[in-house]
């Protein structure tokens, strides 16, 4: 059995779905791509049993076939080849695939396609449509704040809350929280579920930054994303998400307004001298001046920087993890941002000034206990 496909086109499609493959899979066949050919279309799949990605391209083929070929070796070969047609010859009985190109040939061991895990299907599901660039942006604004603690599985993904008139994405690792809401997406369903981080990062890198419609279907166990010639299926995190609204402070009379770039640079520069374990920096607010400082007692390093700002409220000193604060500042797109606080032991609430219409983003970062200098 034979088929012909362009090397550059094939490499692009395989690269889109290669991120699913893990280095030490549960079963060996998961180290392979599944090639399924029917009616002149090559459908390629990869899976780790939790997440599955599929893409499709047109090929020259007269027969139907299904074969699993090694993912890493195939991609490594394609990366070395110039743009040219490749002739694949498949021998299912011998479990072999030969790839011929301009100057030579490659022979790979293959497995029968029917040994590859079957994709889940939507049963008793619901669905909605979201533009690709909005979904991509929502993931980028939240996934960085998820937890890596497998003992708190519910925090390792992004919580999706759907209503008839809006969609909300929430991520937290218990030290910080991001709530991203879009009122210009109207799912028309009242549901919620938790999407795992790996699937979200794969989506973020493969989604086009345009208005391509993404069909999202889901049931109690899986979510299905379809856009263009790509589909992604992932198993949902079967856990209860915490009541995130309960931790967002409502009364925050101390309000800092400041240039985003100056604040970002100041925090990063001063944090160079912070303790390498705690990353603690101190914000001192008085009048129209913000003083950012840090010290590392073990190495006798310290830094201080003063920035002009707009501040209303009582004089305040509060400590934050500079790494968390920097990541949240970086997630702000506007030229100015607002940091609202109440007390040194209560969370700070970070929001952009004059953000995009239809978009609402709120970021919360927990404070750190300050030691007297």
Task: Name every residue whose Cβ is closer than 8 Å to that of residue 68 and which is 6 or more positions away in sequence.
Answer: 29, 32, 33, 34, 35, 110, 111, 112, 113, 115, 116
Nearest to 222 by CA among 196, 243, 204, 201: 196
Task: Name every residue whose Cβ is closer than 8 Å to that of residue 78 and which is 6 or more positions away in sequence.
Answer: 7, 10, 11, 14
| pTM of the predicted model over 0.85 | yes
The mean pLDDT value for 63-90 works out to 95
Domain 126-245, classified CATH 3.10.150.10, yes or no: yes
State which fold the 248-365 domain adopts: DNA Polymerase III; Chain A, domain 2 (3.10.150)
The reply to whether 2-115 and 248-365 are identical in fold is: yes
Task: Evaluate if residue 11 carries a pLDDT over 70.
Answer: yes
Question: For the chain, what are the domain ranges?
Answer: 2-115, 126-245, 248-365
Tell me the C-alpha distance between 361 and 369, whole Å: 26
The pLDDT score that the predictor gives to residue 372 is 57
Task: Evaluate if residue 9 carries a pLDDT over 90.
Answer: yes
Q: Is residue 143 a contact partner of residue 180, using CB atoms and an 8 Å limit?
A: no
The mean pLDDT value for 258-265 works out to 97
**Domain 2-115 top-level CATH class:** alpha beta
Least confident of 83-87, 91-95, 231-235: 91-95
Q: How big is the chain, counted in residues?
A: 373
Confidence of residue 181 (pLDDT cuts 50, 70, 90): very high
The pLDDT score that the predictor gives to residue 354 is 82
């Amino acid at each position: 059995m034979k088929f012909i496909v362009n090397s550059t086109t094939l490499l692009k499609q395989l690269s889109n779905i290669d991120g699913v493959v893990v280095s030490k899979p549960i079963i060996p066949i998961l180290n392979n791509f599944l090639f399924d050919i029917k009616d002149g279309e090559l459908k390629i799949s990869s899976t780790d049993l939790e997440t599955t990605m599929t893409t499709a391209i047109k090929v020259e083929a007269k027969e139907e076939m299904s074969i699993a070929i090694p993912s890493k070796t195939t991609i490594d070969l394609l990366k070395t080849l110039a743009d040219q047609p490749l002739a694949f010859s498949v021998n299912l009985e011998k479990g072999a695939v030969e790839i011929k190109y301009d100057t030579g040939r490659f022979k790979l061991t293959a497995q029968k396609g029917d040994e590859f895990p079957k994709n889940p299907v939507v049963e008793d599901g619901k669905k909605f449509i979201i533009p690709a660039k909005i979904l991509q942006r929502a993931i980028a604004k939240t996934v960085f704040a998820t937890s890596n603690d497998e003992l708190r599985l519910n925090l390792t993904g992004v919580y999706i809350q759907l209503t008839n008139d809006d969609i909300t994405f929430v991520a937290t690792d218990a030290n910080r929280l991001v709530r991203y809401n879009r009122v210009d997406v109207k799912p028309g369903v009242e549901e919620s579920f938790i999407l795992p981080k790996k699937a979200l990062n794969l989506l973020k890198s493969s989604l086009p930054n345009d208005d391509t419609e993404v069909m999202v279907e889901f049931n109690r166990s899986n979510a299905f994303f379809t856009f263009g010639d790509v589909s992604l299926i992932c198993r949902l995190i079967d856990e209860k998400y915490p009541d995130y609204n309960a931790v967002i402070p409502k009364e925050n009379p101390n309000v800092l307004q400041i240039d985003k770039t100056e604040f970002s640079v100041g925090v990063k520069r001063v944090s160079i001298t912070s303790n390498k374990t705690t990353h603690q920096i101190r914000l001192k607010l008085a009048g129209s001046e913000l003083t950012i400082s840090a010290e590392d007692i073990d190495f006798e390093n310290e830094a201080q920087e003063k920035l002009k700002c707009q501040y209303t409220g009582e004089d305040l000193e509060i400590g934050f993890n500079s790494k968390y604060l920097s990541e949240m500042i970086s997630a702000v797109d506007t030229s100015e941002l607002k940091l609202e606080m109440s007390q040194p032991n209560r969370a700070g609430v970070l929001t952009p000034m004059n953000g995009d219409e239809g978009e609402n983003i709120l970021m919360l970062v927990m404070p750190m206990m300050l030691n007297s200098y």
